[in-house]
């Protein structure tokens, strides 16, 4: 009897929307037919193809378009870059470039001491390496520290938590150039910050003239722009820690700091590794926001490796594609190593 009643109710349920369906169908049906048309036209040749090459080889047919795309826009440029790095001269076309073997690499690595950029033949490259290393080190440490604190606070039961979670993530959505321009507006000689300092009776600070300040702000702006992303990763990790562990710790009379050190941190460690490695990779790649903010200056105080590559290849008077390509390859090897480390870390996390 209940079965019959169910039957009646489903009929009623179908009757309800039935009145509204035609309206949508008027648009949807012809549209669907239109989209299906080219696929139908494709159907016959695909079937013919399958008959000739066999079902087993069909997956490669489907993979081909994407493989071609990747080949043209990823693998081919890598190959061309490799070839550029072993040729010399100002010519753009590969056929006109003389082969120089490891000459470009030799030139890059011609150094009295690798610790002193001034002793190197190509001192700007090594200055870029040193700056990038310094920048990455400070940036990773600050990034992990700030995003960890932010994540822990945002994981607490605070007022307007959703609002703050959104606010800390917003900078991630901004274009790096926009980020740099905003901060430039704050930090320049007559910027917002100096206006605040002078109104409090202080002396103007020329942030972009002092090398220390320039590097400081480069790191800080970069942390500000990206920490939302890392905070999100850590927040997800924090939320994955079961609440009853904290209750057990409370019953065990664990002091707060010890709860953080002995329970939160170890449980969060897999996420921390991901954050550290990702921040390292992003740090080594840093270019746009620092370039717009400081232009690599003062002098070469905030010149990064990627900026060196860009300038060597495209913006110097003499465009040295070979040298830039060689530097790119060196950078590529470093990033490849870091990526392997990240993969290893995330695989350990999965097990």
Partner 1 sequence: MADLKLVGITKSYGGLAVIHGIDLAVRDGEFVVFVGPSGCGKSTLLRIIAGLEEVTGGDILIDGVSVTRLPASDRGLAMVFQSYALYPHMSVRKNMGFALENMRLPVAEIASRVERAASMLQLTPYLERKPKALSGGQRQRVAIGRAIVRDPKIFLFDEPLSNLDAELRVATRKELAALHAEIGSTMIYVTHDQVEAMTLADRIVVLRAGRIEQTGTPLDLYNRPANLFVAGFIGSPRMNTLPATVVTAGPDGGMMLAGREIAAAVPDTLKPGDAVTLGIRPEHLATVIPGDAGRSQASDLTVTVDLAEQLGSETYLYAQTADGNPVTIRQAGQITITRGNRIDLLIQRDALHVFNSAGLRVAQSATETLG
Helices first, then strands: H and E counts in the chain: 16, 0
Rounded to whole angstroms, the Cα distance separating 121 from 278 reads 32
- Shortest reach from residue 235's CB to partner 1, in Å: 20
Interface residues for partner 1 in 208-267 (CB under 8 A)? 242, 244-245, 247-255, 258, 262-263, 266-267
- Shortest reach from residue 146's CB to partner 1, in Å: 25
Reference 107, options 96, 92, 95, 123; nearest CA is 123
- Shortest reach from residue 253's CB to partner 1, in Å: 4
Interface residues for partner 1 in 266-305 (CB under 8 A)? 266-267
Which C-beta is closer to partner 1: that of 200 or that of 350?
A: 350
Which C-beta is closer to partner 1: that of 267 or that of 330?
A: 267
Q: Kindly determine how many residues on this chain lie close enough to bind partner 1 according to the rule CB under 8 A.
A: 17
Q: Structure tokens of 336?
A: 């490849």
Rounded to whole angstroms, the Cα distance separating 288 from 218 reads 11
Mask for 142-181, x = binds partner 1 (CB under 8 A): ----------------------------------------
Which C-beta is closer to partner 1: that of 40 or that of 347?
A: 347
Which C-beta is closer to partner 1: that of 263 or that of 341?
A: 263
CA distances for 199 relative to 2, 183, 195, 207, 301, angstroms = 80, 19, 6, 17, 29
Q: What dihedral angle (degrees, nearest 10) is formed by the CA atoms of 60, 65, 66, 71?
A: 100
Q: Structure tokens of 91?
A: 């010519």
- Shortest reach from residue 87's CB to partner 1, in Å: 54
Give the count of beta carbons closer than 10 Å to the beta carbon of residue 74.
10
Residues within the interface to partner 1 (CB under 8 A): 242, 244-245, 247-255, 258, 262-263, 266-267
């Amino acid at each position: 009897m209940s079965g019959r009643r169910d039957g009646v109710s489903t009929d009623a349920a179908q009757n309800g929307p039935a009145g509204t369906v035609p309206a949508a169908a008027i648009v949807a049906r012809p549209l669907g037919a239109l989209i299906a048309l080219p696929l139908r036209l494709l159907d016959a040749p695909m079937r013919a193809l399958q008959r000739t090459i066999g079902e087993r080889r069909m997956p490669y047919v489907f993979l081909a378009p994407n493989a071609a795309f990747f080949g043209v826009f990823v693998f081919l440029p890598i190959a061309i870059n490799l070839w550029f790095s072993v040729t010399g001269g100002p010519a753009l076309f590969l056929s006109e470039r003389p082969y120089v073997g490891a000459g470009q690499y030799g030139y890059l690595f011609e150094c009295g001491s690798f610790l002193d950029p001034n002793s190197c033949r190509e001192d700007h490259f090594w200055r870029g390496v040193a700056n990038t290393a310094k920048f990455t080190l400070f940036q990773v440490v600050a990034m992990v520290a700030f995003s960890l604190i932010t994540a822990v606070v945002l994981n607490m039961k605070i007022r307007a938590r959703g609002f703050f979670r959104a606010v800390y993530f917003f900078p991630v959505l901004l274009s790096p150039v926009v980020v740099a321009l905003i901060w430039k507006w704050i930090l320049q000689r007559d910027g917002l910050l100096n206006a605040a300092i002078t109104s409090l009776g202080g002396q103007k600070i020329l942030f972009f003239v002092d090398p220390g300040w320039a590097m400081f702000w480069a790191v800080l702006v970069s942390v500000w722009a990206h920490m939302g992303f890392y905070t999100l990763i850590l927040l997800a990790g924090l939320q994955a820690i079961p609440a009853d562990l904290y209750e057990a710790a409370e019953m065990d009379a664990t002091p707060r700091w010890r709860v953080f050190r002995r329970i939160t941190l170890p449980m969060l460690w897999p996420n921390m590794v991901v954050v550290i490695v990702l921040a390292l990779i992003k740090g080594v790649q840093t270019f746009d926001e620092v370039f717009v903010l400081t232009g690599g200056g003062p002098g070469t105080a905030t010149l990064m490796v990627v900026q060196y590559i860009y300038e060597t290849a495209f913006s110097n008077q003499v465009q040295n594609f070979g040298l830039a390509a060689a530097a790119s390859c060196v950078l590529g090897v470093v990033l490849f190593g870091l990526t392997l480390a990240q993969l290893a870390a995330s695989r350990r996390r999965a097990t």
